[in-house]
Structure 1
Amino acid sequence: MANTATERDDGQHAHDHSAHDHSQHKAEEPNCCGGGTGNVALAASSNAKGRSFQVNGLDCAEEVSILTKVVGPKLGGVEHLAFDVINGRMTVLDSAGLISDDQIVKLVATTGMSARPWNAENASVDQAAHLSKQKKFTFLSGGFWAAGFGWHIVETGMGGALGLFAGHGEAAMPIPEISLFALAIIFGVWLVAPKAWSSARRMSPDMNLLMLVAVAGAIVLGEYFEAATVAFFFSLSLYLESWSVGRARNAVSALLDLAPPTARVVKEDGSEADVPAAEVTVGTHFIVRGGDRIALDGEVVDGAGAVDQAPITGESALVPKEAGDDVYAGTINGEGTLTVRATKAATDSVLSKIIRMVGDAHSRRAEVEQWVTKFARVYTPIVMILAVVIAVLPPLLLGGAWNYWFYNALVLLVIACPCALVISTPVSIVAALTASARAGVLIKGGAYIEAPGRTKAIALDKTGTITMGEPEVAALYPLNGATEADLLALAGALEARSSHPLARAILGKAERDGIAVKAAEDTRTVPGRGLEGNMNGKSVWLGSDRFAVEKGFGDDIPSDIRDRIEEAGSTLVAVGNESGVTGILELRDRIRPDAKRIVAQLHALGVTKIIMLTGDNARTARAVAAEVGIDEVRAELLPEDKVTAIEELVAQYDMVAMIGDGVNDAPAMARAHYGIAMGAVGSDAAIETADIALMTDDIGKVPWLIVHSRKTMSIIHQNIGISLATKALFVGLTAFGMATMWGAIAADVGVSLVVVANALRLLNGNDRRSAPTRNAPLAQEA
């Protein structure tokens, strides 16, 4: 846990040693478990400490369930395993019992999958090879299936082809045709059979066993065409599943391509050379020409230009850069030539952090995703039992034909295949996470994709959120015989070592006025109050009017000055020494031009309560809130008061968000259902702290986030509905004896294609600048 400095937004500097503790909140956050197999973390191994393995064939929660049941018991429990499905990675946590890598590899092999110790460089190669193998076997199965179908057409004509769909009836299928369909069956189940056998040995039915039983049953009935069709289409559906996971993985990997692989480094003798970015050390100078992508995070030391930061922040306008400004890997220098000093290694850049976090984000699974996994795991064995009942009871009790009811039981098994249902959510979640990252909104997991769409209350800070966060000294009021120069010199002396926005405003004013500032001695922060120090042997202080009252100098502040400052919505900063108040500074932070419109958008989106939590004085806070349309103001709050306010909101509303800078408001963000950090592009701590990080300080991304969340959940619900409706239709057809095995599996594959295509629409994102109006239907916005 890192110490995070908290500074009040009213000039009262406070330090709160807190961190974003997820264990203290998120009561509604779903447990990240492996779909009902115990407390298994679907966490990326970059976060989970232990030994990682590349598992070929690990494509969805179905395989996670298999691995937890086979490997988990050997480790002392499934809680010692973690999974990263998108990257096909399994991690044996350090908490596990003693077991060698070879033993783990052998255990995985018994499931029909293969494993080897994790190697990041080889992982993508292994994944590509696995997908290639699936593609080869699927195409071979499809090729022989088509050849068998073609043979039948040539022999019997199109009328005979229609007869093939209805079964051969009394006529025997020719041996060449049987052989072609047999080859289609063999290639179709080649990769499925080991998993199905493992499932049968464990007496734990899954969709692999379910399909293999259906294929075997069709062969027993002599329905070779049906068996081949089921085998081919099931193989195709598994290939589609792997392809869709790979597509989502590639979308994340595409972020990595934003940063060029080399940097043009300036050597000690002044010459230049292209060096791999991974080899560039901190402190090295490199050149960025106009039109080039920036290879590393750094600070401009020479030159001027305008940088396109959209790949990181999602903002469309070019950002001017000159000496002293920060630049980020993956952004584009639009004009001019910059000399940049590398401040971070390639692996530590903001872009690298975003890539890792997006890649790992699916570890926190959305509630709907867990529901789908659990549902699929429960209903599959139920359907298998129901199929046995259908195959046995009607012939025994009603004298029905064994072949007829056995066939209908097989059709039911095929219908139960949960492929489309299982892949409907994870692909949607990863696509949504990737799209949001492209828009400059970093979401930490599936659980937080779902939350914004259900937000009912938002608490936000004032400075840097509703206001620009760049205050300026609007007026000086010297008192007790002091001059403006005396006042600025004293205030500057106390703020000389601070980077707080108010401190920068005071120091900037002193510099413009030509006031020489000498830092005060022994300065210290008084939590929730202000600053104290020593200057020329005297005790000096700076803070709010409340701090002045505690010092015993509250009456020194003229009431007319206090009223004038508060009515203007400005911030009052009192400066004094051990004798009294030297003077008053009026600091004004401009309200964001679009703040009122954004608050109206949030209300239109169904956010019923927007509350400002600020340490500023009440009159100033109310003035700002009234101007932008905020519902409620709680002012003059200490950090612990903000926490109390959030706890009250959490008790009242189903979903509460806290918007702050990710560091200063960490305790309050920790108590909300989810926290949103503003302006995270320049702050590693902000990226680490919040559940959602806005890479810029643009609060306009919050309405976009809510719309994006609702669009994502809408697509997931559409996919679930389509999948279940299709299955319900074929269950009904089966009850009337109208369904066929090939029809059921073809429908399931068709639905798989539909849900994958629907989910991948999220990769396109939506218009970051679009904003709902109060009259616009939310469905259209979503």
Structure 2
Amino acid sequence: MKDNETVETGKKEAKNPPAFKKSLDFTVTATSSPKAGDSCCSNANQGSSACCEEDHCSSMSGENAGVYERIPQERRKPGDQAEAMEPNGSIRSYRIEGMDCSSCALTLENHLKEKPYVKSVSVHFSSATMKIDHGNEVTDIVREVDKLGYKASLITKRRGQVELQPAKGASSVPLLSGALLALGYLGSLAGVTAWLTMALYAVSMMIAGYKPAKSAFYAVQSRSLDMNVLMTAAALGAAFIGEWLEGATVVWLFAVGNMLQTRSIDKTRNTLRSLMDLTPDDAWLKTDSGLARKPVEAISAGDRIVVKPGEKIPLDGVVLEGLSMVNQAPITGESVPVDKEPGSIVYAGSLNANGSLEIRVTKPADDTAVARIIHMVEEAQDKKAPTQTFVDQFARIYTPVVFILALLIMFVPPWFAVGSWSEWFYRGLELLVVACPCALVISTPVAIVSAIGNAARQGVLIKGGSSLEMAGKIDAVAFDKTGTLTEGKPKVSYVTGFGIPEEEVVSIARTIEEHSRHPIASAIMEYAKEQQIRPLSGESYQAIAGKGAQASINGKPYFAGNARLFQEDLHLSLAPIAAILSELQRSGNTLVIIGTDQELLGIIAVSDTIRPVTAAAISKLKAAGIRQTVMLTGDHEGTAAKISKQAGVDRYLAGLLPEDKVEGLRQLQHEGYTIAMVGDGINDAPALASADLGIAMGGAGTDTAMETADIVLMADNLERLPYTVELSRKALAIIKQNIWFSLIVKAAALLLIFPGWLTLWIAVLSDTGAALIVILNSMRLLRMK
């Protein structure tokens, strides 16, 4: 039990050191110089004697600390600036219902910014949320939002789990309005008096047009030209020139289109919110008096819970007792259930299959892996892609320009006696309707939200539209070796001593490596325990950045590391053992040389195995259009050649320090490749940041991986990488389809105005229909597997 607890404590400690983040100008907070027990590896600054030969090496002190500061300015990605933490004061988040276009969000922002009690406000169309810093009551904000025709509700931890529901009466308004419109039309055919049919049309317009007219009033008041303003102006203009049927039809079609658009977009948003339903609300807490059902919010780290067969695991933790198979697909995307035993890590939201498990909770409800996924996915929805930013800027210019053009068409030709006043006024109204860029503005965000939602359900966390776009553009992928292409669990394969017994070599190595949790160190420790070889009495443990480690045994310094440590630092000749070193390296082993500053004492060879899914994943990447695959490793040539051949990568770069991996990526970029780097978090942070796209593996168990990369594969394997590339490319294709379709429909409508072939109701139908088609096309991304 103690061993398990030590592991978990280590994980917690690893979360708190000054971790590298791209968003903080690529620097690391200064730490004190290495102390006894420090090393060049692992998230907790602990490492191995063979750090320099392993991909997990990433010293954050000494000569390598500057790696993080030397990430070139031009490689820093736009939109990655640090975001200030929200104070616990007056900033609140609201869910907004009824927004079906980003211009709605702009109108709402402009309206609230004018209120003296609002310090700042940000409305996000994609996620239908609003963050606002205000000093008045929540009810005041809800009332102001309601004025514009939308519904606001304060988001709390529990409230966030509620899906968006269609507003009450949302479908009855178009139904009643349509019925009155139909009665008026049938009455006109039956010869009913004109004033009665006109009254039916007018009532129909008022019922369906009340909400858009109200929103239009506040939009104009806040100096915003949104779709409500354009449609209201068109409807009133039609009534003004006596085209009551046209006006009523415009308003009714607009109401029906809004209802369908809102429902479709809310379905996309709710797909993301379904992640929130993964975890149960309660858990069986183990107490001295037995099991008690408690809300998950009332359970703290360190408490013990029991999960029965068939139940969802409510909180992250470590298994203390029991054996079972657990379906982790909702979190990691793994299709096959995973065996769990004492010592295994389990995640909230996964399903316990066939055995009862007693679990020690390691994280509270608001800090579980699934809670972090939900938080980051919600943030990702509001990070605009470059395409979306361009479209939004285009729409902001396009709408007022066309609005002014419509006014000129209404009044200039009649002024010069070119045609009748009513004829040109009608054409101006048509142009007002066509001016609404709803389909164009929706074309990108709905596709992005659909893709991000689908990916999250498959165990892939995409951090925003820019990351999604870049993933669709990459044509080369670079991989870290250890823990990415390989299992990352090496085993000792060979031990030899030079004039001393093998047991003594292992004993010295175990003494030096006792303070490390690096995979190489773990392999040596595990081997020593299996052979029942005890450590010696050591002190003054110290990491030698990029080369190894040392410790004092009986007052004498001993070293464990690679060839460079003994050749460059200790100035010892390796000629007498060159043959054995060469042979072991050709066999694909990583070598740890043991010795003093006077003599070589022995060699420990450690080998790693390739992951079963690696070769298949790389083959699928190539089938998806990736032109170049590269392995970057700190390991020696022999191991690199062996692993690269087994994995099927096109080429490899061996013997790299962390800064060398950055140079390797620059070399690929100079060759013209748009490159993604795949690693496992903090150890590959410089390379992840320097690549065009950083992809981290194993995010479910690593806070650092979530923070560092642009895309996180929650499972600790490459199975989801080809899917991610294919999804991103399909999303890019759909975005392009949406944009071109929207522009072609607009152009066609504009061309039909001047010959007089376009009517107001056809203009509305084309605009609304185009928006619906764009939404439905984007929603195809939700079904991609």
Q: What is aligned with 2:19?
A: 3
Distance in 2, Cα, partners of 1:64 & 1:155? 40
1:350 has 2:372 as partner? no
Candidates 412, 417, 425, aligned match of 1:406:
425
Residue 395 of structure 1: how far off its partner (Å): 2.8
- Secondary structure in 2 matching 1:659: strand
What per-residue deviation string (whole Å, max 9, x for no partner) do you get for residues 316-365 of structure 1? Answer: 11211111111111111122211111111111110111111111112221
**What amino acid sits opposite 1:306 in the alignment?**
M
Deviations 1:739-771 (A, max 9, x none): 1111121222222222222222222232xxxxx
1:534 to 552, 576, 590: 552
Match for residue 183 of structure 2 among 150, 156, 164: 150
Q: What is the CA–CA distance in structure 2 between the aligned matches of 1:420 and 1:201, rounded to whole Å?
A: 24
Question: Match of 1:64, as an amino acid?
Answer: A
Which of 45, 48, 51 is equivalent to 2:91?
51
Aligned to 1:779: none
Matched, 1:89 2:132: no
2:405 alignment partner, SS class? helix
**Structure 2 SS opposite 1:463:** helix
Matches within 5 A, 1:314-329: 314-329=333-348
Q: 2: distance between equivalents of 1:475 and 1:149?
A: 88
- Aligned counterpart for 1:452 among listed residues 471, 484, 487: 471
Aligned to 2:8: none
**Residues 143-222 of structure 1: pairs in structure 2 closer than 5 A:** 143-153=176-186, 156=189, 174-222=194-242
Question: What is the correspondence of 1:93-108 to structure 2 with a 5 Å cutoff?
Answer: 105=141
Rounded to whole Å, the distance in 2 between the matches of 1:401 and 1:571 is: 88
SS in 2 for 1:499: coil
Q: Does the C-alpha gap of structure 1 residues 70 and 44 become closer, same or farther in structure 2, counting only changes over 3 Å?
A: farther
Partner Cα distance (2:146, 2:764) in 1: 27
The answer to whether the 8 A contact 2:658-2:687 is kept is yes
- TM-score normalised by structure 2 residue count: 0.86
The unaligned stretches of length 5 or more in structure 1 are 33-38, 158-170, 767-782
The residue that corresponds to 1:502 in the other structure is: 520
- Residue number in structure 2 paired with 1:718: 737
SS at match of 2:419: coil
Q: 2:543 maps to which residue?
A: 525
CA RMSD, Structure 1 to Structure 2 (Å): 3.3
Instruction: Identify unmatched segments of 5+ residues in structure 2.
Output: 1-16, 21-42
Instruction: Describe the shift of the 1:376–1:344 C-alpha distance in structure 2 as closer, same or farther (beyond 3 A).
Output: same
Partner Cα separation in structure 2 for residue 597 and residue 666 of structure 1: 26
Which range moves more in the overlay, 450-459 or 49-58?
A: 49-58
**Residue from 148, 151, 171 that aligns with 1:112:** 148
Aligned pair partner of 1:690 in 709, 726, 732: 709
1:747 aligns with 2:780: no
Q: Tell me, yes or no, if structure 1 residue 428 matches structure 2 residue 447.
A: yes
- For the residues of structure 1 that align with 2:724 and 2:69, how far apart are their CA atoms? 23
In 2: Cα distance, 1:347 partner to 1:541 partner: 44
> Per-residue CA shift, 1:44-81, capped at 9, x if unaligned?
99799961253745554213333454555789999x54
Shift of 1:263: 0.9
Q: Which of these residues, 291, 297, 317, is aligned with residue 316 of structure 2?
A: 297
Q: CA deviation at 1:411?
A: 1.3
Alignment check: 8 A CA contact 1:557 1:581 kept: no
Mapped partners of 2:601, 2:343: distance in 1? 34
1:602 counterpart letter in structure 2: L
In 1: Cα distance, 2:537 partner to 2:236 partner: 85
1:614 equivalent to 2:649? Answer: no
Q: Name whichever of 752-761 and 256-265 sits farther off.
A: 752-761
CA distance in 2, matches of 1:519, 1:353: 43
**2:501: which partner in 1?**
483
Aligned in 2, Cα 1:292/1:109: closer, same or farther, shift over 3 Å?
closer
Residue 279 of structure 2 is aligned to residue 259 of structure 1? yes
User: C-alpha separation between the residues in 2 aligned to 1:353 and 1:9?
Assistant: 33
1:564 aligns with 2:583: yes
Deviation at 1:144, TM superposition (A): 2.3
User: Which amino acid is the alignment partner of residue 129 of structure 2?
Assistant: R
Equivalences, count: 735
Q: Is the 8 A contact 1:148 1:178 kept in 2?
A: no
Give secondary structure in 1 for the equivalent of 2:230. Answer: helix
Percent same amino acid at aligned positions?
34
Question: Is the partner of 1:677 in helix, strand or coil?
Answer: strand
Q: Deviations over 1:206-247 (max 9, x none)?
A: 322111110111101111121112112223333334333422
In the TM superposition, residue 91 of structure 1 has moved relative to its aligned partner by: 2.9
Q: Structure 1's 14 and 21: CA in aligned 2 closer, same or farther, altered over 3 A?
A: closer
- Secondary structure at 2:591 match in 1: strand
Q: Is the 8 A contact 2:163 2:270 kept in 1?
A: no
Q: What is the one-letter code of the residue matched to 1:217? A: G
**Cα deviation digits, residues 715-748 of structure 1 (max 9, x gap):** 2222222222222222222222111111121222
CA contact (8 A) 1:145 1:181 kept: no
Tell me the CA shift for residue 125 of structure 1: 10
Corresponding position: 1:282 with 2:301? yes
**Change beyond 3 A, Cα 1:647–1:490:** same
1:66 maps to 107
CA distance in 2 between counterparts of 1:504 and 1:319 reads 23
The separation in 1 between residues aligned to 2:520 and 2:590, in whole angstroms, is 10
Distance 1:308 1:21, change over 3 A: farther
**Corresponding position: 1:132 with 2:174:** no
- Paired with 1:730 and 1:546, the residues of 2 have a C-alpha distance of 72
Name the SS for the 1:573 alignment partner. Answer: strand
Cα distance in structure 2, aligned partners of 1:731 and 1:666: 51
**1:250 match:** 270
Whether 1:465 aligns to 2:465 is no
What do residues 478-534 of structure 1 show as CA deviations (whole Å, max 9, x unaligned)? 22x122211111111222221111111111111222222357322121111111112
Shift of residue 27, structure 1, vs aligned partner:
5.6
Match among 685, 693, 696 for residue 677 of structure 1: 696
Alignment check: 8 A CA contact 2:510 2:524 kept: yes
Shift of 1:535: 1.9
Contact 2:127/2:382 (8 A) holds in 1: no
Provide the residue aligned with 1:161 in structure 2.
none
Amino acid in structure 2 at the alignment position of 1:15: S
Secondary structure class of the residue paired with 2:311 = coil
Aligned to 2:247: 227
Distance 1:385 1:476, change over 3 A: same
Q: Secondary structure at the match of 1:542?
A: strand
Contact 1:25 1:670 in 2 (8 A): no
